[in-house]
Amino acid sequence: MRTTTGWQATGPTVLRRASLERRDLRPDDIAVQVDYCGVCHTDLHALHTYDQHTKAPLVPGHEFTGVVTATGAMVTTFSVGDRVAVGNIVDSCGVCTMCEAGQENFCHSFPTLTYGGTDRQDGTTTLGGYSREYVVRNTFAYPLPGGLDPAAAAPLMCAGVTVWEPLRSLGVGPGSRVAVAGLGGLGHLAVKMAVALGATTTVISRTQDKLDDARKLGAPDLIDSTDPQQMATARDTFDVLIDTIPAPHNLAPYLKLVTMDGTLSLLGYLGPLTVEATDLLIGRKKLSSAGSGGRTATAEMLQFCADNGIAADIEVLPSSQVDTALDRLQRNDVRYRFVLDMSDLD
Amino acid sequence: MRTTTGWQATGPTVLRRASLERRDLRPDDIAVQVDYCGVCHTDLHALHTYDQHTKAPLVPGHEFTGVVTATGAMVTTFSVGDRVAVGNIVDSCGVCTMCEAGQENFCHSFPTLTYGGTDRQDGTTTLGGYSREYVVRNTFAYPLPGGLDPAAAAPLMCAGVTVWEPLRSLGVGPGSRVAVAGLGGLGHLAVKMAVALGATTTVISRTQDKLDDARKLGAPDLIDSTDPQQMATARDTFDVLIDTIPAPHNLAPYLKLVTMDGTLSLLGYLGPLTVEATDLLIGRKKLSSAGSGGRTATAEMLQFCADNGIAADIEVLPSSQVDTALDRLQRNDVRYRFVLDMSDLD
């Protein structure tokens, strides 16, 4: 086994520095020195529900970038020293129709998650990117295109591809009218990508002071979701509404803003929803959801971001301040994504 | 005022023969002798929730065919003796973006319903097609194309257009894979139309003996929704799933059958839904709903049915047996739509 260092949960929201084991490289593995790892809402959720007495070890982190330090015998696509990025999926069955379509995120036997997943060969629980080294099957690592800052690119691997997939699958391009509800880690990347895809992009927020931010991101308009007049004026307007609000909320007012045959894509809150069928019926609206992405979309997204100068707006903290990052994320006190610098683990 | 005869509610599910008043013809009105009126689940629902002490008079019926008996001074598109059909909408504002798009069913100030609606000019409550005469603004009556049997065509005006709109807006055509869940008044028309549009069409039912019916309608396959193996085999298969089940039910097993970027369109049950966001997320499924149709779609649907020899499978009863029809509809004892013959009201 290989040994590295990381931040491991010892109870809900408590992380301690710990020595971790990584597997010896399989023929198709690479070892990655993790330089930067984003802090995702999923990490908070995993920590909040963690009980060390009943669960396997937890090391969060599923959006990271770094450098290849070793390659397995069969690996031909990566060399030591290459810059790479890894997201929230590290394996899949490879043979189902979804895997064959490049949509490993929908693998029929469920993809292996970057942390908290079960390795398909040895059955161990995967430990995430809040660590200095990660060993990953090379097909689930992505070359980090030149021009992308490795710290600001880390959040692209979860937040980025999560907004990219619906924008692409819903056909957003020049002439599209896109609204982004909620301006946070997901939302700010959705705005940047929608603008770069050529869409007229509007931010919907209950926080009036995010108007300035929205303008900087390229969205000319903000709709204050607490103003009935603004919401009424925007009725039947948007081809795609990317809903990144990370808590349960009434979908009806947002569905009203979607144009006929348009789609509300729910990304921020993934629990049970209650929706009135008539809110879908009247004006012929569609409801969808998204999260993560397949290998094809992930690679495409990285190249698009490199070509268009897109990365996350981040605040970098040394990994030893992970508790601060999680606490402030909990209070929405970040614009817009924390990234941990892992070099302090050396 | 004009006087006619119809079937009026005197309490929940109790209808009595009554003399009804119809307005004198406005310049853009026509008077229609109602020959055949379909019996819709909506009629049952309206009767079940009816209280004569608190509500305006109720005469159900919103899918009927007949013959023009008089025309207003400005009417140029209809003449006395023309065969016509009327559906569940008899007016709309005419100026909102939805009306301008030919989607009067989504009129921003709500369309005037054929019964239980409020007339936009005189404020009276509209009385439906369970009667011998109806007076309607001519733009909401449709010429009944030659070749369509007036009895079997009546259900096209509500059930028919309700399934037609989603099939068309979701792009069903040659090569599409369509599933129809629930084989009743809506479902059997959805199968006929999907087949005629060139789709490979499958019926999903918990009633195995509907297989023979499904074959006769042109659907080669039936999926037994109570058989987990059949449901598993059909995972990610259908571009469009038309869900006509008229009661609350778990959508998850049906969403699983929809292919990536495909849509489940909910037509049969229009109350509040609970759905897990992850059931939309995994495999990238969309949820929509539909009901009724605009003028453009209605006219198009009628011509398509005439061109393709499509009409409802009906059981005709004299209108005096309306209670029998409603009772048997309640028990799903009809294949697939009751139509009342109104000539016994003369």
Residue-wise pLDDT for A243-294, tens only, equals 999 889 999 999 999 999 999 999 988 889 999 999 999 999 999 999 899 9
Confidence band, pLDDT 50/70/90 cuts, at residue B212 = confident
Average pLDDT over residues B34-59: 91
Tokens for A225, please give them: 């979701």
Confidence band, pLDDT 50/70/90 cuts, at residue A10 = confident
CA distance A29 to A75: 7
Average pLDDT over residues B260-284: 93
Tokens for A80, please give them: 């030591």
Mean pLDDT score across all residues of chain B: 95
Chain A residue numbers touching B280 (CB-CB < 8 A):
266, 287-289
Confidence band, pLDDT 50/70/90 cuts, at residue A28 = very high
**Shortest alpha-carbon distance between residue B138 and chain A (Å):** 24
Q: Is the pLDDT of residue A5 over 80?
A: yes
In A286-305, the residues whose Cβ lies within 8 Å of chain B are: 286-291
Average pLDDT over residues B168-175: 97
Model pLDDT, residue A53: 79
> Concatenated DSSP letters for A132-154?
SEEEEEGGGEEE--TT--HHHHG
Residue with tokens 């005419």: B94
Across the interface, whether the CB atoms of B289 and A283 are under 8 A apart is answered no
Residue-wise pLDDT for B281-295, tens only, equals 999 999 999 989 999
**Strand, coil or helix: what is B61?**
coil
Q: What are phi and psi of B76, to 5 degrees?
A: -115, -15
Confidence band, pLDDT 50/70/90 cuts, at residue B233 = very high
Find out whether B148 and B302 touch, Cβ atoms under 8 Å. yes
Model pLDDT, residue B307: 98
Residue in chain B nearest A288 by alpha carbon: B286
Q: How many CB pairs under 8 A join A and B?
A: 99
A101 interfacial to chain B (CB closer than 8 Å): yes
Model pLDDT, residue A56: 87
Model pLDDT, residue A212: 80
Mean pLDDT score across all residues of chain A: 95
CA distance A224 to A245: 14
Model pLDDT, residue A7: 98
**B45, B284, B285, best to mutate vs chain A, most A CBs in 10 Å:** B284
Model pLDDT, residue B221: 83
Q: How many other β-carbons are positioned within 10 Å of the β-carbon of residue B130? A: 28
Confidence band, pLDDT 50/70/90 cuts, at residue A87 = very high
Of B116, B140, B141, B156, the closest CA to residue B8 belongs to: B116
Residue-wise pLDDT for A99-149, tens only, equals 999 999 999 999 999 999 999 999 999 999 999 999 999 999 999 999 999
So where are chain A's domains? 2-158+293-305+312-345, 160-289
Confidence band, pLDDT 50/70/90 cuts, at residue A52 = confident
What separation, in Å, do the N-terminal and C-terminal C-alpha atoms of chain B show?
18
Model pLDDT, residue A207: 83
Q: How many other β-carbons are positioned within 10 Å of the β-carbon of residue B44? A: 18
Residue with tokens 């060390």: A52
* Strand pairing report for A314-318 and A337-341: parallel
Q: Is the pLDDT of residue A211 over 80?
A: no
Residue-wise pLDDT for B61-107, tens only, equals 999 999 999 999 999 999 999 999 999 999 999 999 999 999 999 99
Q: Is the pLDDT of residue A191 over 80?
A: yes
**Shortest alpha-carbon distance between residue A48 and chain B (Å):** 20
Model pLDDT, residue B54: 77
Question: What ipTM was estimated for this complex?
Answer: 0.92
Q: Is the pLDDT of residue B318 over 80?
A: yes
- E strand or H helix that includes residue A315: strand A314-318
Q: For the ranges A34-43, A190-199, A214-223, B274-283, which has the lowest average pLDDT?
A: A214-223
Q: Is the pLDDT of residue B122 over 80?
A: yes
Residue in chain B nearest A272 by alpha carbon: B276
Q: Is the pLDDT of residue B108 over 80?
A: yes
CATH architecture of A160-289: 3-Layer(aba) Sandwich (3.40)
B101 interfacial to chain A (CB closer than 8 Å): yes
Confidence band, pLDDT 50/70/90 cuts, at residue A240 = very high
**Strand, coil or helix: what is B65?**
strand
Model pLDDT, residue A258: 98
CATH architecture of A2-158+293-305+312-345: Alpha-Beta Complex (3.90)
Model pLDDT, residue A215: 86
